Amino acid sequence: MPQRDPGSTGGEGPATAIFEAPVSRRHLIGGLATAGALAGASPAPAKARTFGGWDFIVVGAGVFGAWTAWNLQRRGHKVLLLDAWGAAHARSSSGGETRLIRTEYAGNALYTRWAWESLAEWHALSRRHDSPVFHETGALYIYPEDTAQIDRSIAIQRALGIPIEKITAAGMARRWPQINFDGIAVGVMQPTMGALTARRSVQALVGEFVKAGGGFRQFAVDPPRSERASLEAITGTGGETLRADRFIFACGPWLPKLFPDVVGARIVPTRQDVFFFAPAAGDTRFESAHLPAWVDVSSKDLHYGFPDIEARGFKIALDAHGPAFDPDTTDRRITDQALADVRAYLARRFPDLAKRPLAESRVCQYENSDNGHLLIDRHPAWANSWIVGGGSGHGFKHGPAVGRYVADLVLGTGKAEPDFALAAHKVHGEAMDDGNG
């Protein structure tokens, strides 16, 4: 989550109806079953078979690829969305239970606005589905000092009409007695922010996309190659070739593997441990009616968490980057040390949870750019291909804005944001400014 803030070539012949399988509610909320069921609707891959006729192929059905495919489809384009394992699968960065949406962005005007605009689209998606995509828990940032930067950030938000409230430590202690505010000077509460249900929201969106005629396949793409000025086709690990006019690679933490020369260590995945604790039976103080999502800026590691949403337990994690992490090869088990550390933090800030049982845990990965900015740019050698990623632990909330931005960019109707360019991203280790946290 939260992060300290950052600063056709090919279309040959008619499109094969890979699938326009009807999408049932079971598909939409059925976890990996979504991709599996849909993939099952497609013909078995034949060796070196070639499909064509797509305006766009989007590789990667995480939050960025899903919103990009959805936006291009809404603009009348024929889009095929691919993912090696399925939409928002368990090991993707978008595959968790919850992601925070907040507009408190340390005064960064672009991300503040994008988060606010995205919230409206998340609400709209939530309204279109039975199960919630968004829980309006509110979001509370707690700061060790009252600074001018906090007031600048509040002013930017107020100018956009975002409800926001600055609260003293004494005021917060009265409202949320289950939190110990020692060492905290001030809080910023954003009552209309909260928790996006990460995996569910992406799968719901992909379901809409397929229902509206978009193509979706479980398909693992080999690192693309072309000696020409554009990419003609991509090849799957099974040898099958897919063609389209344009390609978008939204492969999150896998981007360095697909583009070792172009992306390489401009994006470094890091291990992030996530914990869910079980409150005592009948203790409702940690449910969303009584506790907002929160970020503790006073903690060195920037702890953050969510109330007990949909009975999963009280969620807590550290925003500090863990060690470099390979999304393909590592077992996803938290360490005893990480659990001990998080319990020590709970003992200080949420004392009544420190000894409660661990209900569940997850290990995910951030896909960090050097400065925390998104990385969205045209491939330097192929005029018809774009790279989209660098969510860096704060990207999820911006999915709708990213989808719109990428669609504008690839259709030539938008202006490129200089901070997102490949050239603006250093290789990690080269005077790296860790804009995350």
Ligand X SMILES: Cc1cc2nc3c(=O)[nH]c(=O)nc-3n(C[C@H](O)[C@H](O)[C@H](O)COP(=O)(O)OP(=O)(O)OC[C@H]3O[C@@H](n4cnc5c(N)ncnc54)[C@H](O)[C@@H]3O)c2cc1C
Q: Which is nearer to ligand X, 122 or 286 (CB)?
A: 122
User: Strand, helix or coil at 397?
Assistant: helix
Q: Is 191 exposed, middle or buried (0-12, 13-18, 19+ CB in 10 A)?
A: middle
Q: Which residues are paired to 247 by β-bridges? A: 57, 385
What sign does the dihedral 155-398-196-133 (CA atoms) show? positive
The total of other beta-carbon atoms located within 10 Å of residue 332's CB is 15
Strand order in 165-168's β-sheet? 165-168, 186-190, 139-143, 293-296, 303-306, 314-318, 267-277, 358-369
Distance between CA atoms of 265 and 47, rounded to whole angstroms?
Answer: 33
Q: Which is nearer to ligand X, 23 or 101 (CB)?
A: 101
- Report in angstroms how near the CB of residue 57 gets to ligand X at its nearest: 10
Q: Which is nearer to ligand X, 48 or 280 (CB)?
A: 48
- Report in angstroms how near the CB of residue 420 gets to ligand X at its nearest: 13
Q: Which is nearer to ligand X, 119 or 221 (CB)?
A: 221
- Report in angstroms how near the CB of residue 334 gets to ligand X at its nearest: 12
| Strand bridging mode 98-101 / 194-197 | antiparallel
Distance between CA atoms of 166 and 413, rounded to whole angstroms?
Answer: 39
- Report in angstroms how near the CB of residue 280 gets to ligand X at its nearest: 26
Binding residues vs ligand X (CB under 6 A): 1-2, 59-65, 82-85, 89, 92-94, 96, 99-100, 220-221, 250-254, 258, 272, 274, 317, 364-366, 389, 391, 393-397
Q: Which is nearer to ligand X, 384 or 436 (CB)?
A: 436
What sign does the dihedral 257-374-68-270 (CA atoms) show? positive
Q: Report which DSSP code applies to 414.
A: S
Q: Which is nearer to ligand X, 29 or 100 (CB)?
A: 100
- Report in angstroms how near the CB of residue 69 gets to ligand X at its nearest: 11
Q: Which is nearer to ligand X, 1 or 72 (CB)?
A: 1
- Reference 28, options 131, 105, 155; nearest CA is 131
- Report in angstroms how near the CB of residue 309 gets to ligand X at its nearest: 12
Q: Which is nearer to ligand X, 42 or 168 (CB)?
A: 42
Q: How far is CA 357 from the centre of its chain?
A: 28
- Report in angstroms how near the CB of residue 82 gets to ligand X at its nearest: 5
Calculate ∠ Cα 17-33-245, nearest 5°: 35
Q: Which is nearer to ligand X, 65 or 313 (CB)?
A: 65
- Report in angstroms how near the CB of residue 177 gets to ligand X at its nearest: 25
Q: In this structure, what token pair is assigned to residue 18?
A: 């890979």
- Reference 322, options 366, 372, 276, 362; nearest CA is 366
